Structure 1
Amino acid sequence: MKLDYIDEILDEVVPGHKVLLFSFYTSMLQLVGKRIAERGIDYAYLDGKLNQVDRQKAVERFHNEDDCRIFLISLKAGGTGLNLTAADYVYILDPWWNPAAEAQAIDRCYRIGQDKHVMAYKIVCKDTVEERILEMQASKRSVADGLILDEANLMKSLSKDDLLKLFE
Protein backbone atom coordinates (compact mmCIF):
# COMPACT_ATOMS: atom_id res chain seq x y z
CA MET A 1 0.00 0.00 0.00
CA LYS A 2 1.29 3.46 -0.88
CA LEU A 3 0.67 4.89 2.57
CA ASP A 4 2.92 2.19 4.04
CA TYR A 5 5.62 3.26 1.60
CA ILE A 6 5.10 6.85 2.77
CA ASP A 7 6.02 5.62 6.27
CA GLU A 8 9.33 4.32 4.88
CA ILE A 9 10.02 7.70 3.26
CA LEU A 10 9.22 9.43 6.55
CA ASP A 11 11.58 7.13 8.46
CA GLU A 12 14.46 6.84 6.01
CA VAL A 13 14.51 9.93 3.78
CA VAL A 14 12.83 12.85 5.56
CA PRO A 15 15.21 13.15 8.55
CA GLY A 16 18.13 14.19 6.32
CA HIS A 17 16.46 15.60 3.24
CA LYS A 18 13.81 17.95 1.90
CA VAL A 19 11.10 16.06 0.00
CA LEU A 20 8.50 17.00 -2.63
CA LEU A 21 5.49 14.68 -2.80
CA PHE A 22 3.28 15.23 -5.86
CA SER A 23 -0.12 13.70 -6.48
CA PHE A 24 -2.76 14.48 -9.07
CA TYR A 25 -5.41 13.74 -6.45
CA THR A 26 -5.82 16.21 -3.60
CA SER A 27 -7.63 13.49 -1.65
CA MET A 28 -4.40 11.46 -1.74
CA LEU A 29 -2.43 14.48 -0.57
CA GLN A 30 -4.86 14.88 2.32
CA LEU A 31 -4.43 11.21 3.33
CA VAL A 32 -0.65 11.61 3.22
CA GLY A 33 -0.86 14.89 5.14
CA LYS A 34 -2.88 13.21 7.88
CA ARG A 35 -0.32 10.41 8.12
CA ILE A 36 2.55 12.91 8.33
CA ALA A 37 0.75 15.02 10.95
CA GLU A 38 0.05 11.92 13.09
CA ARG A 39 3.82 11.48 13.33
CA GLY A 40 4.34 15.09 14.34
CA ILE A 41 6.30 16.00 11.22
CA ASP A 42 5.96 19.52 9.84
CA TYR A 43 5.05 19.95 6.17
CA ALA A 44 3.86 22.51 3.63
CA TYR A 45 0.86 22.03 1.34
CA LEU A 46 -0.09 23.48 -2.03
CA ASP A 47 -3.07 22.80 -4.25
CA GLY A 48 -5.08 24.77 -6.80
CA LYS A 49 -7.33 26.28 -4.12
CA LEU A 50 -4.53 28.37 -2.60
CA ASN A 51 -4.40 32.02 -3.59
CA GLN A 52 -1.13 33.54 -4.77
CA VAL A 53 -0.21 34.93 -1.32
CA ASP A 54 -0.74 31.60 0.48
CA ARG A 55 1.01 29.77 -2.33
CA GLN A 56 4.09 31.97 -1.88
CA LYS A 57 3.96 31.52 1.91
CA ALA A 58 3.95 27.73 1.49
CA VAL A 59 6.98 27.89 -0.84
CA GLU A 60 8.90 30.22 1.50
CA ARG A 61 8.08 28.04 4.50
CA PHE A 62 9.43 24.94 2.75
CA HIS A 63 12.58 26.78 1.68
CA ASN A 64 13.32 28.68 4.86
CA GLU A 65 12.16 26.51 7.76
CA ASP A 66 14.48 23.61 8.48
CA ASP A 67 11.74 21.72 10.35
CA CYS A 68 9.47 21.84 7.28
CA ARG A 69 10.93 18.78 5.50
CA ILE A 70 8.04 17.81 3.22
CA PHE A 71 6.05 19.70 0.61
CA LEU A 72 2.78 18.08 -0.53
CA ILE A 73 1.83 19.47 -3.92
CA SER A 74 -1.01 18.92 -6.33
CA LEU A 75 0.45 17.89 -9.68
CA LYS A 76 -1.67 20.43 -11.55
CA ALA A 77 -1.02 23.32 -9.15
CA GLY A 78 2.69 22.58 -8.87
CA GLY A 79 3.41 22.12 -12.55
CA THR A 80 4.30 25.72 -13.27
CA GLY A 81 5.73 28.79 -11.62
CA LEU A 82 7.52 27.17 -8.70
CA ASN A 83 11.19 27.18 -7.81
CA LEU A 84 11.78 24.50 -5.17
CA THR A 85 15.55 24.07 -5.04
CA ALA A 86 15.51 23.22 -1.32
CA ALA A 87 14.30 19.72 -2.26
CA ASP A 88 16.60 16.87 -3.08
CA TYR A 89 14.00 14.06 -3.24
CA VAL A 90 10.89 14.08 -5.43
CA TYR A 91 8.13 11.48 -5.43
CA ILE A 92 5.25 11.20 -7.88
CA LEU A 93 2.59 9.36 -5.86
CA ASP A 94 0.41 8.42 -8.81
CA PRO A 95 1.38 8.37 -12.47
CA TRP A 96 -0.52 10.65 -14.80
CA TRP A 97 -1.31 9.82 -18.42
CA ASN A 98 0.63 12.87 -19.60
CA PRO A 99 4.35 12.33 -18.91
CA ALA A 100 5.02 16.04 -19.57
CA ALA A 101 2.96 16.99 -16.48
CA GLU A 102 5.14 14.74 -14.33
CA ALA A 103 8.31 16.08 -15.92
CA GLN A 104 7.23 19.66 -15.22
CA ALA A 105 6.58 18.77 -11.59
CA ILE A 106 9.99 17.15 -11.19
CA ASP A 107 11.61 20.15 -12.89
CA ARG A 108 10.43 22.38 -9.99
CA CYS A 109 13.60 21.47 -8.10
CA TYR A 110 15.95 21.61 -11.11
CA ARG A 111 16.27 25.37 -11.20
CA ILE A 112 19.00 27.97 -10.98
CA GLY A 113 20.37 27.75 -7.48
CA GLN A 114 20.06 23.98 -7.13
CA ASP A 115 23.25 22.76 -5.48
CA LYS A 116 22.17 19.23 -4.52
CA HIS A 117 21.91 15.96 -6.39
CA VAL A 118 18.17 15.30 -6.85
CA MET A 119 16.55 11.86 -6.74
CA ALA A 120 13.13 11.50 -8.43
CA TYR A 121 10.84 8.47 -8.08
CA LYS A 122 7.42 7.35 -9.26
CA ILE A 123 5.46 5.21 -6.81
CA VAL A 124 3.48 2.64 -8.78
CA CYS A 125 1.36 -0.21 -7.42
CA LYS A 126 1.92 -3.53 -9.18
CA ASP A 127 -0.97 -5.08 -11.13
CA THR A 128 -3.03 -1.90 -11.18
CA VAL A 129 -4.19 0.66 -13.72
CA GLU A 130 -1.03 2.59 -12.80
CA GLU A 131 1.08 0.07 -14.70
CA ARG A 132 -1.14 0.61 -17.75
CA ILE A 133 -0.61 4.36 -17.42
CA LEU A 134 3.16 3.83 -17.48
CA GLU A 135 2.78 1.75 -20.64
CA MET A 136 0.76 4.56 -22.23
CA GLN A 137 3.42 7.08 -21.22
CA ALA A 138 6.16 4.94 -22.78
CA SER A 139 4.16 4.52 -25.98
CA LYS A 140 3.46 8.26 -26.27
CA ARG A 141 7.09 9.07 -25.50
CA SER A 142 8.26 6.63 -28.19
CA VAL A 143 6.00 8.16 -30.81
CA ALA A 144 7.00 11.70 -29.79
CA ASP A 145 10.70 10.79 -29.89
CA GLY A 146 10.20 9.39 -33.39
CA LEU A 147 8.54 12.60 -34.54
CA ILE A 148 11.37 14.69 -33.21
CA LEU A 149 14.32 12.49 -34.12
CA ASP A 150 13.39 10.93 -37.41
CA GLU A 151 10.46 12.67 -39.03
CA ALA A 152 11.17 11.30 -42.51
CA ASN A 153 11.03 7.63 -41.51
CA LEU A 154 8.33 7.92 -38.85
CA MET A 155 5.35 7.58 -41.16
CA LYS A 156 6.85 4.39 -42.59
CA SER A 157 7.25 2.83 -39.15
CA LEU A 158 3.92 3.85 -37.56
CA SER A 159 1.10 1.36 -37.55
CA LYS A 160 -2.58 2.27 -37.54
CA ASP A 161 -2.67 1.43 -33.79
CA ASP A 162 0.27 3.80 -33.12
CA LEU A 163 -1.57 6.63 -34.83
CA LEU A 164 -4.78 5.93 -32.93
CA LYS A 165 -2.89 5.95 -29.61
CA LEU A 166 -1.86 9.55 -30.29
CA PHE A 167 -5.50 10.55 -29.96
CA GLU A 168 -6.44 8.49 -26.87
Structure 2
Amino acid sequence: MKLVVGLGNPGAKYAATRHNVGFWVVDEVARRLGSECSREKWKSHAALVRVGAERVILCKPQTFMNNSGEAARAVFDYFSELSADDVIAIYDDMDFPVGDLRLREKGSAGGHNGVKSLIAHLGTESFARVRVGIGRPEQKSAVISYVLSPFPAAERPAMDETVNHAAEAVLFALQNSFTLAMNRFNGT
Protein backbone atom coordinates (compact mmCIF):
# COMPACT_ATOMS: atom_id res chain seq x y z
CA MET A 1 0.00 0.00 0.00
CA LYS A 2 1.16 3.53 -0.81
CA LEU A 3 0.01 6.99 0.24
CA VAL A 4 0.33 9.84 -2.26
CA VAL A 5 -0.38 13.11 -0.47
CA GLY A 6 -0.55 16.42 -2.30
CA LEU A 7 -0.20 19.50 -0.14
CA GLY A 8 -2.44 22.52 -0.55
CA ASN A 9 -5.27 24.50 0.96
CA PRO A 10 -8.95 23.55 0.71
CA GLY A 11 -11.63 25.63 -0.94
CA ALA A 12 -12.24 27.56 -4.14
CA LYS A 13 -10.41 30.62 -2.77
CA TYR A 14 -7.08 28.75 -2.93
CA ALA A 15 -7.70 26.33 -5.80
CA ALA A 16 -5.65 28.22 -8.41
CA THR A 17 -2.82 29.36 -6.12
CA ARG A 18 0.85 28.42 -6.25
CA HIS A 19 0.55 26.71 -2.86
CA ASN A 20 -1.93 24.19 -4.33
CA VAL A 21 0.22 22.55 -7.00
CA GLY A 22 0.37 19.42 -4.82
CA PHE A 23 -3.41 19.14 -5.15
CA TRP A 24 -3.15 19.65 -8.93
CA VAL A 25 -0.70 16.77 -9.28
CA VAL A 26 -2.83 14.42 -7.18
CA ASP A 27 -5.88 15.36 -9.25
CA GLU A 28 -3.95 14.58 -12.45
CA VAL A 29 -2.79 11.22 -11.08
CA ALA A 30 -6.39 10.40 -10.14
CA ARG A 31 -7.64 11.48 -13.57
CA ARG A 32 -5.11 9.24 -15.32
CA LEU A 33 -6.29 6.34 -13.18
CA GLY A 34 -9.95 7.02 -14.00
CA SER A 35 -10.76 8.30 -10.51
CA GLU A 36 -11.14 11.50 -8.54
CA CYS A 37 -10.51 12.50 -4.95
CA SER A 38 -14.17 12.70 -3.99
CA ARG A 39 -14.19 10.54 -0.87
CA GLU A 40 -14.30 12.69 2.28
CA LYS A 41 -12.35 10.70 4.83
CA TRP A 42 -9.21 11.03 6.95
CA LYS A 43 -9.54 14.84 7.06
CA SER A 44 -9.02 14.71 3.30
CA HIS A 45 -10.52 14.42 -0.11
CA ALA A 46 -9.25 10.99 -1.08
CA ALA A 47 -9.44 8.18 -3.57
CA LEU A 48 -8.52 4.52 -3.22
CA VAL A 49 -7.03 3.25 -6.48
CA ARG A 50 -4.85 0.47 -7.80
CA VAL A 51 -1.65 0.87 -9.74
CA GLY A 52 -0.89 -2.63 -10.93
CA ALA A 53 -1.17 -4.81 -7.86
CA GLU A 54 -0.46 -1.90 -5.49
CA ARG A 55 -3.28 -0.29 -3.49
CA VAL A 56 -2.79 3.47 -3.42
CA ILE A 57 -4.47 6.19 -1.38
CA LEU A 58 -4.53 9.55 -3.15
CA CYS A 59 -4.98 12.25 -0.54
CA LYS A 60 -5.61 16.00 -0.57
CA PRO A 61 -5.64 17.15 3.08
CA GLN A 62 -8.48 19.51 3.98
CA THR A 63 -6.72 20.72 7.13
CA PHE A 64 -4.99 23.68 5.44
CA MET A 65 -1.34 23.57 4.49
CA ASN A 66 0.19 24.14 7.92
CA ASN A 67 -1.69 21.15 9.38
CA SER A 68 -1.29 18.70 6.48
CA GLY A 69 0.31 16.15 8.78
CA GLU A 70 -2.97 15.70 10.67
CA ALA A 71 -4.57 14.21 7.55
CA ALA A 72 -1.58 11.97 6.81
CA ARG A 73 -1.66 10.76 10.43
CA ALA A 74 -5.38 9.98 10.11
CA VAL A 75 -4.62 7.78 7.08
CA PHE A 76 -1.78 6.08 9.00
CA ASP A 77 -4.05 5.44 11.96
CA TYR A 78 -6.64 3.81 9.69
CA PHE A 79 -4.18 1.72 7.63
CA SER A 80 -1.76 0.27 10.17
CA GLU A 81 0.33 -1.38 7.44
CA LEU A 82 1.55 2.00 6.15
CA SER A 83 5.02 3.27 6.98
CA ALA A 84 6.88 6.43 6.03
CA ASP A 85 8.57 4.43 3.25
CA ASP A 86 5.12 4.17 1.62
CA VAL A 87 4.58 7.95 1.38
CA ILE A 88 5.07 10.24 -1.60
CA ALA A 89 4.46 13.89 -0.69
CA ILE A 90 3.94 16.43 -3.48
CA TYR A 91 4.27 20.15 -2.82
CA ASP A 92 5.32 23.57 -4.09
CA ASP A 93 8.91 24.68 -3.63
CA MET A 94 10.16 28.27 -3.90
CA ASP A 95 13.79 27.11 -4.11
CA PHE A 96 13.31 26.14 -7.77
CA PRO A 97 12.23 28.18 -10.77
CA VAL A 98 8.69 27.86 -12.08
CA GLY A 99 8.34 24.52 -13.81
CA ASP A 100 11.33 22.72 -12.27
CA LEU A 101 10.62 19.28 -10.84
CA ARG A 102 12.81 17.61 -8.20
CA LEU A 103 12.37 14.23 -6.54
CA ARG A 104 14.05 13.33 -3.22
CA GLU A 105 13.86 10.23 -1.06
CA LYS A 106 14.01 12.21 2.21
CA GLY A 107 15.16 15.48 3.70
CA SER A 108 14.31 18.40 5.92
CA ALA A 109 11.26 20.61 5.62
CA GLY A 110 13.32 23.36 3.99
CA GLY A 111 11.09 25.99 5.61
CA HIS A 112 7.87 24.55 4.11
CA ASN A 113 5.21 24.51 6.84
CA GLY A 114 3.18 21.72 5.22
CA VAL A 115 6.24 19.49 5.16
CA LYS A 116 7.07 20.47 8.76
CA SER A 117 3.60 19.25 9.71
CA LEU A 118 4.09 15.95 7.85
CA ILE A 119 7.41 15.40 9.60
CA ALA A 120 5.91 16.19 13.01
CA HIS A 121 2.91 13.85 12.54
CA LEU A 122 4.78 11.00 10.85
CA GLY A 123 7.74 11.28 13.22
CA THR A 124 10.35 11.14 10.46
CA GLU A 125 11.92 13.04 7.56
CA SER A 126 12.30 9.77 5.63
CA PHE A 127 9.51 9.93 3.07
CA ALA A 128 9.67 10.56 -0.67
CA ARG A 129 9.02 14.04 -2.04
CA VAL A 130 8.06 15.46 -5.40
CA ARG A 131 8.92 19.15 -5.27
CA VAL A 132 7.38 21.44 -7.87
CA GLY A 133 9.20 24.71 -8.48
CA ILE A 134 7.07 27.85 -8.17
CA GLY A 135 9.84 30.46 -8.10
CA ARG A 136 10.45 33.04 -5.41
CA PRO A 137 9.01 36.53 -4.97
CA GLU A 138 11.36 39.46 -5.49
CA GLN A 139 10.77 40.74 -1.95
CA LYS A 140 11.21 38.38 0.98
CA SER A 141 8.33 40.07 2.82
CA ALA A 142 5.93 39.05 0.03
CA VAL A 143 6.21 35.25 0.51
CA ILE A 144 2.72 34.67 1.92
CA SER A 145 0.92 36.74 -0.70
CA TYR A 146 3.11 35.11 -3.39
CA VAL A 147 2.28 31.49 -2.52
CA LEU A 148 -1.40 32.36 -2.06
CA SER A 149 -1.68 34.01 -5.48
CA PRO A 150 -2.33 32.36 -8.84
CA PHE A 151 0.32 31.94 -11.49
CA PRO A 152 0.32 34.72 -14.08
CA ALA A 153 -1.00 33.71 -17.51
CA ALA A 154 2.54 33.63 -18.93
CA GLU A 155 3.64 30.96 -16.41
CA ARG A 156 0.53 28.78 -16.54
CA PRO A 157 1.53 26.69 -19.62
CA ALA A 158 4.84 25.78 -17.95
CA MET A 159 3.01 24.82 -14.77
CA ASP A 160 0.47 22.70 -16.65
CA GLU A 161 3.35 20.85 -18.32
CA THR A 162 5.10 20.41 -14.96
CA VAL A 163 1.94 19.05 -13.32
CA ASN A 164 1.67 16.48 -16.12
CA HIS A 165 5.35 15.62 -15.76
CA ALA A 166 4.99 15.28 -11.97
CA ALA A 167 1.98 12.97 -12.40
CA GLU A 168 4.05 10.82 -14.78
CA ALA A 169 6.84 10.69 -12.19
CA VAL A 170 4.45 9.61 -9.42
CA LEU A 171 2.88 6.90 -11.57
CA PHE A 172 6.31 5.69 -12.67
CA ALA A 173 7.46 5.55 -9.02
CA LEU A 174 4.35 3.56 -8.04
CA GLN A 175 4.90 1.08 -10.89
CA ASN A 176 8.67 0.77 -10.42
CA SER A 177 10.45 2.47 -7.54
CA PHE A 178 11.04 5.99 -6.30
CA THR A 179 14.80 5.61 -6.87
CA LEU A 180 14.21 4.78 -10.53
CA ALA A 181 11.79 7.71 -10.78
CA MET A 182 14.46 10.05 -9.39
CA ASN A 183 16.94 8.82 -11.98
CA ARG A 184 14.44 9.27 -14.78
CA PHE A 185 12.67 12.53 -13.84
CA ASN A 186 15.18 14.70 -11.94
CA GLY A 187 16.64 17.42 -14.10
CA THR A 188 14.19 16.98 -16.96
Q: TM exceeds 0.5?
A: no
TM-score range, shorter chain: 0.3 to 0.5
Compare the two structures and name the one with the higher strand fraction. Answer: 2
TM-score by length of 1: 0.38
- Larger radius of gyration, structure 1 or 2? 1
Higher helix share: 1
Relative CO higher for 1 or 2, CA cutoff 8 Å, sep ≥ 6? 2
